[in-house]
Amino acid sequence: MSETVVSLSDVVTRFGSNLVHDGLNLDIARGEIVALVGGSGSGKTTLLRHIIGLTQPAAGQVRLFGEPLDGGSIDDQVNRKRRFGVLFQQGALFSAFTVGENIAFPLRELGVATEDEIRQLVSLKLAMVEMEAQHAALMPAELSGGMVKRAALARALALEPELLLLDEPTAGLDPDRSASFVRLILSLHRELGLTVVLVTHDLDTLAAMSSKVAVLADRKILSYASLEETMLIEHPFIERFFRGEHGRRALARAKENI
Ligand SMILES: Nc1ncnc2c1ncn2[C@@H]1O[C@H](COP(=O)(O)OP(=O)(O)OP(=O)(O)O)[C@@H](O)[C@H]1O
């Protein structure tokens, strides 16, 4: 049986009187590329934040790599933190740092490498996201939208994570840049054996890359299945999201590209 990388059990999340998750369960196996979809405000970003321990649910348990998030010694917790990388929609890069300093940040924070090694690692990570070594000297404001995403991805990959979490990775990119970002994630997934969890509203991205779709609706994971199986489920959100005209077109395009 394959290893469970992310496990959410009976998760309850409340912000004041706003009950966002109510007994939510999800187990993600190693190597999956999971698209997490749901209506606006259904709690997708909050769930990503729970997975990496930025916020804690009111009840229930989050386990990463088989261990409770807060389990073990401080060293165990720090080591667990090194095993995932995150690409958030907002604040992808520190604006006052160069691209190189941004990528070096997690390496310096954990004190795992010398300055020489850090310089080499920065060039290596830039190459992994198909950027040039000299881009390290640029400021984020000097980059195009697509390059900001790549540089932020290079930072997320700095510590060689096993799990990559992406919040709306293709939002704001034109269709060509979006498709090339998807190809990049797919090749990294193949080469590095990553498990990927991405939040997306973009059906083209979802259809092109996900191995499973997790639908967040009615405060729970309504279904966790392949795209084909998901589309057969009778539910108002699935009807709107997948079976509307835009959805049908995106899925037809994805089939053409297979
Ligand atoms: N720190 C917070 N304090 C209070 N309410 C919050 C907080 N974070 C999220 N919420 C609320 O929790 C709900 C879920 O928010 P979240 O951002 O996780 O949704 P989402 O599914 O990612 O939405 P979208 O698709 O619009 O980005 C929303 O009603 C939001 O207003």
pLDDT tens digits along 12-44: 999 999 999 999 999 999 999 999 999 999 999
The verdict on the CB of residue 54 being under 6 Å from ligand 1 is no
Q: Which CATH architecture has domain 1-83+163-228?
A: 3-Layer(aba) Sandwich (3.40)
Q: What pLDDT is attached to residue 146? A: 85
The string of pLDDT tens digits covering residues 93-130 is 899 999 999 999 988 987 778 999 999 999 999 998 88
Closest C-alpha residue for ligand 1 atom 26 = 40
- Ligand 1 centre to CA of 47 (Å) is 9
The Cα 86–Cα 153 span in angstroms is 8
Establish whether residue 20 lines the binding site of ligand 1, counting it when its CB lies within 6 angstroms of any ligand atom.
yes
CB 8 within 8 A of CB 50: yes
Is the complex ipTM more than 0.90?
A: yes
Q: Judge contact between 54 and 88, C-beta under 8 A.
A: no
Q: Is 44 in the pocket of ligand 1 (CB under 6 A)?
A: yes
Q: CA angle at residue 168 from 164 to 172, to 5 degrees?
A: 130
Residue 116's CB is within 10 A of a number of other CB atoms, namely 8
- Residue 91: is its pLDDT beyond 60? no
Tell me what percent of the residues of the chain surpass a pLDDT of 90: 62
Neighbour-count burial of 92, counting CB atoms closer than 10 A to its CB (0-12 exposed, 13-18 middle, 19+ buried): buried
Dist. CA 35–CA 24, nearest whole Å: 16
Whether 90 is in the pocket of ligand 1, judged by its Cβ within 6 Å, is: no
- pLDDT tops 80 at residue 47: yes
- As given in the structure block, the two tokens for residue 116 are 């020489």
Q: Which pLDDT value is given to residue 255? A: 66
What are the sequence ranges of the domains in the chain? Answer: 1-83+163-228, 91-160
Q: What is the pLDDT of residues 221-254, one digit of tens each?
A: 999 999 989 989 999 999 999 887 777 777 777 7
Is pLDDT of 136 > 90?
Answer: yes
Tell me the C-alpha distance between 68 and 82, whole Å: 15
